[in-house]
Structure 1
Amino acid sequence: MSNAEQTIRCLAVDDEAYAAEIIAGYINKTPFLELVGATSDPFEALRLVQANQVDLVFLDIQMPELTGIQFLKICGGKCKVVLTTAYPEYALEGFELDVIDYLLKPIPYERFYKSAVKVRQMITPAAAPAPVHLPVTDNGYLFIKGDNKNKFIRVEYNDILYLEGLKNYVSVYTGTQRLITYQSLREFEEQLPKNLFMRIHKSYIVPFSKIRMVDGNAVYIGDNCLPVGETYRSEFFRKIRE
């Protein structure tokens, strides 16, 4: 089945009915998503997931009868999950349970759509582009802090698609995984070689080699569309023209 024909069956789960309806509205306006339902009952949601009627759940964390984290542990990876919450402190635990994304309320449609695209890429992945081999600068890799004091993960420069800063932690996206680390984007900006990487927004650092197109104030890396912030715009376009 082609990407154009396949839709992703989605469920919105939130103990506040109006919040579930907002997500349901977003699902309905996204062409490749199909709304299965919107519910404030996590047990009803579990029944739908266990019956294999759902591909993707947009899941609230703070629910009185069954928390989102408990839901994740029970459902055991039977579907993809994007967490929706007003509480950023659950992000790391959520990613350790293999959620696709973590959306902080209030959720703008643009941010919702970005998560939906990530799920589509995982469910119906496009052919991967040929890898770009960069000249090795410094050591050609860096170590990022893991989830405990003495854990460090080696990441090759060539593997990095982009870095996204989210309050007190950073997501490092590679071609195969997302790594979460409690470091600041500023630390990465200082550590990464300036001839290979550039900060284009208060929330994003990108490698020049992975940019497939620049259109106005948008940078495209694969199917990801990242904004160029006003503060960084002049320097970014100067480097692009060079």
Structure 2
Amino acid sequence: MADIPQTKTLNCLIVDDERGAHLVLQHYLSQIDRLTLAGTCENALEAINLMHHTKIDLLFLDINMPQMSGLELLSTLKNKPLVILTTAHSEYALESYTYDVVDYLLKPIQFTRFLKAVDKVFYHYGLGLPDKTVNTPPSAQFETSIVIRVDGDWLRVELDDIRYAQSWGNYVKIFTDTHIYLTALTLAELDQRLPGTQFIRIHKSYLVSIKRISRISGNDLYINEVSLPVGLTYRRALIELFK
């Protein structure tokens, strides 16, 4: 477990060459009492200079930047702060964890997904996430949709419309009532972005909407008349939930 800052407030640094990403993260950070914005940088070299004279506890770091990438920046740091990577590119997910990052957020970053990442950081510091940490109305803390990229376009899909998702190589097929969307995510990444109170993993290749489950028969789960396999490692939790 990392050393707990004496103030129990974490100094955060945003490093991203997109101004819009700065604004989103600054807004999210402003909702958390225990997170303080110590600075923002538009490239890795600025970040290195700032960290030479300012203690940073948590780094929000983009990957694709000019001159030096975020991963190249991490390789130069001897004493790294905790790091949350922020990127629009899912293909770096596996490589990023070789740098011991806390989490990997895909843009556009939703607030609930941001909170999950921050909760991991607080766990590292032994702080926990207190009930009154978030200064937003309760309705603002629960997303009702997810934004995905399909054929170069960003689409907003309502969570209530999602029936299930299927792993498809380096992609995921998301089945809704009216469409099938193919998006460049892994099923694990999609699972992280969806609320655990509404969706459950039933197989290494399938994730389903809990409220859409009509019945479970043997090793099969049914969403209306669509049959999906249930993996042995997921079966017990699924049965307990469905009782």
TM-score by length of 2: 0.54
What SS does the corresponding residue of 2:61 show, helix, strand or coil?
A: strand
Structure 2 counterpart of 1:203: 191
Q: CA shift at 1:43, angstroms?
A: 1.5
Q: Distance in 1 between matches of 2:80 and 2:122?
A: 16
Q: CA shift at 1:93, angstroms?
A: 1.0
Structure 1 residues 142-157: aligned runs within 5 Å: none
AA partner of residue 203 (structure 1): D
2:51 equivalent to 1:63: no
2:146 equivalent to 1:124: no
Note the alpha carbon deviations across 1:199-236, whole angstroms, 9 max, x for none: xxx727xxxxxxxxxx97599xxxxxxx9743359877
The structure showing larger relative contact order (alpha-carbon pairs under 8 Å, at least 6 residues apart) is: 2
Structure 2 counterpart of 1:231: 212
Structure 1 residues 136-175: aligned runs within 5 Å: 168=170
Relative to structure 1, is the Cα distance of residues 240 and 41 closer, same or farther in structure 2, using a 3 angstrom cutoff? closer
Report the identity percentage: 34
Q: How many residues align?
A: 158
Structure 1 residues 173-212: aligned runs within 5 Å: 203=191
Note the alpha carbon deviations across 1:24-45, whole angstroms, 9 max, x for none: 1111111221111122132221
Structure 2 counterpart of 1:23: 25
Deviates more, 1:73-82 or 1:91-100: 73-82
AA partner of residue 64 (structure 2): Q
1:30–1:113 CA contact under 8 A, matched in 2: no
Q: Distance in 1 between matches of 2:41 and 2:77?
A: 16
Which sections of structure 2, spanning at least 5 residues, go unmatched?
Answer: 129-166, 172-185, 201-207, 217-236
Relative to structure 1, is the Cα distance of residues 78 and 88 closer, same or farther in structure 2, using a 3 angstrom cutoff? same
What SS does the corresponding residue of 1:230 show, helix, strand or coil?
A: helix
Q: Distance in 2 between matches of 1:77 and 1:233?
A: 51
State which of 82, 85, 88 in structure 2 corresponds to 1:86.
88
Q: Distance in 2 between matches of 1:230 and 1:75?
A: 46
Q: Distance in 2 between matches of 1:166 and 1:23?
A: 31
What SS does the corresponding residue of 2:45 show, helix, strand or coil?
A: helix
Note the alpha carbon deviations across 1:101-123, whole angstroms, 9 max, x for none: 11010001111111011001001
Q: Distance in 1 between matches of 2:78 and 2:213?
A: 42
Which sections of structure 1, spanning at least 5 residues, go unmatched?
Answer: 127-164, 170-183, 187-201, 205-214, 220-226
TM-score by length of 1: 0.54
2:50 equivalent to 1:48: yes
Q: Distance in 2 between matches of 1:72 and 1:241?
A: 44
Q: Distance in 2 between matches of 1:119 and 1:66?
A: 25
Relative to structure 1, is the Cα distance of residues 26 and 216 closer, same or farther in structure 2, using a 3 angstrom cutoff? closer
Q: Distance in 2 between matches of 1:74 and 1:166?
A: 35
